[in-house]
């Protein structure tokens, strides 16, 4: 049975679109399946200024459109729909959508991860206008301002340390009485003179005019509610990798991210994963794009092996 496509990529963020470009340039028939809109998390970026080749800031939306246009230029096709399940039979992957089943020889999962939200007033309204889930991406826009970090794990502590280099002051709030982060990392945060840690404290609301200028905080021990002036809010309360359709075809780490080797290949031959859905050490657009290129390169080699044309 011949596959419908050589390569199918699930997810049209930076990783997926990069994989689509490289797969198409390798003369593979490539289909990208996206649930919502091309770009993934990048489309909410107001000013992308740290991607090589863009000396002037570009919106995440425009950046994503250019990536899609480039992938299509090389021959990749786009399809919108929700993947319900995947399986592999006789060297063919079967991708189930509401509209039917599509088969391919190699499969790349690039569905990313969604940031957990606080679900408080102002969070969505000021997303990209002072509310961020990536200190490396957005921290420099608020240089020399007071910044609030919400969270108590490794990510919150890591990002607070990074922000302390550019903020006038960092206030780190955590709803519990101790960090969940690794002890060494937590100690570095507590010793940093530019970081003020407030345990047993929750962020209840975010306010501002054109951008964030104030938050409402609750001390959950004394029940005191008070306002705190800040220039930005960085939220690190976890992420949810988008893997509900994948099942047991891959291995996961303790946080639910897909594990791969250095070729981006999972435990199932021909099934590759890249970008934020993978247990990648550094979640940035440039890393996702690089992983997409790697995944596609080795997917192409895998297809050559199937056809007896490996080199």
14: left (phi over 0), alpha (psi -120 to 50) or beta: alpha
As given in the structure block, the two tokens for residue 65 are: 């459109």
Query: What residue ranges in 247-309 does DSSP mark as E strands?
Result: 271-273
Q: What is the CA radius of gyration of the chain?
A: 21
Count the alpha carbons within 13 Å of 257 in the hemisphere toward its beta carbon: 18
Q: What are phi and psi of 39, to 5 degrees?
A: 120, -30
Buried b (16+ CB within 10 A) or exposed e, 163-174: bbebbebbbbbb
Q: Which residues are catalytic?
A: 134, 137-138
Token pair of 268 as six digits = 């199932």
Provide the token pair at 40. Answer: 């993934």
Task: Please give the structure tokens belonging to residue 62.
Answer: 């425009």
Q: Give just the sign of the alpha carbon dihedral 214, 166, 59, 289.
A: negative
Among residues 176, 26, 32, the alpha carbon closest in space to that of 104 is found at: 32
How many angstroms separate the CA atoms of 195 and 35, rounded? 40
Residue pair 160/169 in contact by the 8 Å Cβ criterion:
no
């Amino acid at each position: 049975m011949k596959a419908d496509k050589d390569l199918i990529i699930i997810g049209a963020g930076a990783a997926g679109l990069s994989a689509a470009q490289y797969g198409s340039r390798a003369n593979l028939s490539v289909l990208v399946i996206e649930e919502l809109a091309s770009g993934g998390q990048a489309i909410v970026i107001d000013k992308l200024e740290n991607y090589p080749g863009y000396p002037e800031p570009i919106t995440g939306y425009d950046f994503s459109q250019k990536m899609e246009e480039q992938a299509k230029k090389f021959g990749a096709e786009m399809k919108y729909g929700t993947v319900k399940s995947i399986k592999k039979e006789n060297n063919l992957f079967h991708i189930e959508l509401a509209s039917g089943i599509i088969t391919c020889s190699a499969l790349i999962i690039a569905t990313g991860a969604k940031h957990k939200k606080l679900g408080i007033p102002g969070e969505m309204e000021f997303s990209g206008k002072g509310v961020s889930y990536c200190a490396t991406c957005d921290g420099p826009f608020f240089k020399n301002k007071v910044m609030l970090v919400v969270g108590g794990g490794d990510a919150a502590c890591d990002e607070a340390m990074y922000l302390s280099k550019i903020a006038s002051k960092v206030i780190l709030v955590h709803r519990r009485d101790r960090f969940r982060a690794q002890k060494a990392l937590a100690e570095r945060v507590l010793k940093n003179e530019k970081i003020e840690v407030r345990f047993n404290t929750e962020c209840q609301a975010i306010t501002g005019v054109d951008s964030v200028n104030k938050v409402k905080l609750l001390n959950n021990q004394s029940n005191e509610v008070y306002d705190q002036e800040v220039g930005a809010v960085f939220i690190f309360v976890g992420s949810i990798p988008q893997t509900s359709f994948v099942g047991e075809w891959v291995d996961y780490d303790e946080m639910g991210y897909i594990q791969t080797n250095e070729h981006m290949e999972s435990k199932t031959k021909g099934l590759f994963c890249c970008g934020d859905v993978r247990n990648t050490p550094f979640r940035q657009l440039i890393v996702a794009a690089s992983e997409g290129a790697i995944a596609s390169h080795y997917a192409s080699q895998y297809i050559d092996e199937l056809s007896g044309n490996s080199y």
